[in-house]
Copies of this chain bind each other. A is one copy, B any other.
């Protein structure tokens, strides 16, 4: 078999596995939207079966043989070629999936299936000690997973690599350290500022049907194509790229808060624009048709949510529209007051409710604790105490109970250790990309004042989306911005923004 023939066969198999896997995406979407409640048992059987079939087909030794037959050949001579990128990333995924012993996969599945309801119960009672035995088991199995994958330096690198391929603990640490040094004082200065926006403007009454119409008009203006997607309601908002021509977003509405669904919709539409910008017609089911990493994915959602959606230029155009739709609640509001209201900074316990500035502190805290735990510098049983200590240090408030602290997120109970950093990496990449886009596209933010986002979207498509996984995240960052990832663009952006709003 020639390398080319092996490559073609490999790509065919990968595409087929992805087509099957994409059926599970619809099953999941349906589960979170329209599925009748008694369907849940059968649904988990369907999703479980498809996941198992995809896994079995992918770890088939035949796949390994095809990779081997193709990878050391002319096909990979140019490391930036489609074939080279596909082979590099398929190899990476194949090695990962085949390295895990079956016993460990089953133990993880079984343990997390029990740990998640145990966590939910413990959170309800706000009793960390109840979750602790499960937490210890999950950590133990996760460390075994890291050993099975192998790593340089410390185990956390193996975990990080699952969600952010190629990223290292040192890179993350450097970026986070730089950020922490400037962000903690900024948040403190904001807390001490005399000038304060009035957040209550966006906590008036906002009819849910009208919110949906407004959210859809914003998403459409961003470039979200409703012929290739749709917006539905769910409990935990997400975006799902089913396949070519089908990328769906979901949100939830709060009739007494405009921000939640509005910026939630922009966030998910940002993810969706990335999915829609991948060349799926050609590359679906192969790395060249897939997103780079969770961090890069999050950079797209956060850029649209924050750099675009929370900018004053954006609201020059959209506030008058919002005022026509929500006349009673917004009719009397000035642009500056509205802009302040949607950019209020207020340290709070819960990550998912955090504002743009404090959010990253929530993440850094988790990263540090996770890392220390995988290095056995902190024991699970001491996590609640450590959490509360650092929380006070970074955000200036005392955690009142475990449910508002160490027990708040589902991630650890479901085995996602090493995942959190990607949220903050997304914010860092977003700021760095956006700073570059502004340089490359003079007058970009004036476009926003006219509801025009096409130059930004085209720039993102050309520089990021179209590449699929041609480049790893750190390489992509350097290709696009000429610099490695840094905390500076995000801090510059935040200092300028909050400097104006809080008069500091």
- A interface vs B, CB < 8 Å? 16, 19-20, 22-24, 26-27, 30, 34-43, 45-46, 49-50, 53, 225-230, 232, 242-246, 248, 284
Q: Which 5 residue pairs are nearest across A and B when measured between Cβ atoms?
A: A38-B245, A39-B246, A42-B243, A38-B228, A39-B245
Which B residues are in CB contact (< 8 Å) with A243? Answer: 39, 42-43, 45-46
The residue in chain B whose Cβ has the minimal distance to the Cβ of A246 is: B39
The binding surface of chain A is classed by DSSP as helix
Q: In the complex the two chains form, is B36's CB within 8 Å of A245's CB?
A: yes
Known: A36-B230, A226-B36. A245 touches B46 (CB 8 A): no
Residue from B19, B40, B42 within 8 A of A46 (CB atoms): B19
- A51 CB to closest chain B CB, in angstroms? 12
Once the chains are docked, how many angstroms separate the CA of A409 from the CA of B306?
A: 54
Q: In the complex the two chains form, is B22's CB within 8 Å of A26's CB?
A: no
Once the chains are docked, how many angstroms separate the CA of A34 from the CA of B248?
A: 10
Once the chains are docked, how many angstroms separate the CA of A43 from the CA of B23?
A: 9
Q: In the complex the two chains form, is A38's CB within 8 Å of B225's CB?
A: yes
Q: In the complex the two chains form, is A227's CB within 8 Å of B19's CB?
A: no
The residue in chain B whose Cβ has the minimal distance to the Cβ of A232 is: B34
Which B residues are in CB contact (< 8 Å) with A24? Answer: 23
Which B residues are in CB contact (< 8 Å) with A43? Answer: 243, 246
Q: In the complex the two chains form, is A26's CB within 8 Å of B19's CB?
A: no
- A471 CB to closest chain B CB, in angstroms? 26
Once the chains are docked, how many angstroms separate the CA of A26 from the CA of B23?
A: 9
Once the chains are docked, how many angstroms separate the CA of A229 from the CA of B43?
A: 13
Q: In the complex the two chains form, is A42's CB within 8 Å of B242's CB?
A: yes
- A483 CB to closest chain B CB, in angstroms? 37
Residue from B19, B225, B229, B230 within 8 A of A45 (CB atoms): B19
* Complex A-B: 17 CB contacts under 8 Å: A20-B46, A20-B49, A23-B23, A30-B30, A34-B230, A34-B232, A36-B226, A36-B228, A36-B230, A36-B245, A36-B246, A38-B227, A38-B228, A38-B244, A40-B245, A42-B242, A43-B246
Known: A34-B230, A35-B246. A42 touches B22 (CB 8 A): yes
Known: A34-B34, A42-B243. A16 touches B228 (CB 8 A): no
Once the chains are docked, how many angstroms separate the CA of A160 from the CA of B477?
A: 64
Residue from B36, B39, B245 within 8 A of A42 (CB atoms): B245
- A241 CB to closest chain B CB, in angstroms? 11
The residue in chain B whose Cβ has the minimal distance to the Cβ of A225 is: B38
Residue from B16, B27, B38 within 8 A of A49 (CB atoms): B16
- A212 CB to closest chain B CB, in angstroms? 15
- A269 CB to closest chain B CB, in angstroms? 14
- A149 CB to closest chain B CB, in angstroms? 30
Q: In the complex the two chains form, is A49's CB within 8 Å of B226's CB?
A: no
Which B residues are in CB contact (< 8 Å) with A16? Answer: 49
Task: Known pairs A23-B50, A26-B26, A39-B245; list 7 more (Cβ under 8 Å).
Answer: A34-B230, A34-B232, A37-B227, A38-B228, A39-B244, A42-B246, A46-B243
Once the chains are docked, how many angstroms separate the CA of A433 from the CA of B22?
A: 43
Q: In the complex the two chains form, is B244's CB within 8 Å of A41's CB?
A: yes
Which B residues are in CB contact (< 8 Å) with A244? Answer: 38-39, 41-42
Q: In the complex the two chains form, is B39's CB within 8 Å of A228's CB?
A: yes
Which B residues are in CB contact (< 8 Å) with A22? Answer: 42, 46
Which B residues are in CB contact (< 8 Å) with A30? Answer: 26, 30
Once the chains are docked, how many angstroms separate the CA of A165 from the CA of B10?
A: 42
Residue from B27, B242, B284 within 8 A of A26 (CB atoms): B27
Which B residues are in CB contact (< 8 Å) with A50? Answer: 20, 23
Once the chains are docked, how many angstroms separate the CA of A253 from the CA of B232?
A: 22
Once the chains are docked, how many angstroms separate the CA of A396 from the CA of B49?
A: 55
Which B residues are in CB contact (< 8 Å) with A228? Answer: 36, 38-39
The residue in chain B whose Cβ has the minimal distance to the Cβ of A49 is: B19
Query: Most chain-B CB neighbours within 10 Å: which of A40, A244, A245, A248?
Result: A245
Query: Most chain-B CB neighbours within 10 Å: which of A20, A36, A229?
Result: A36
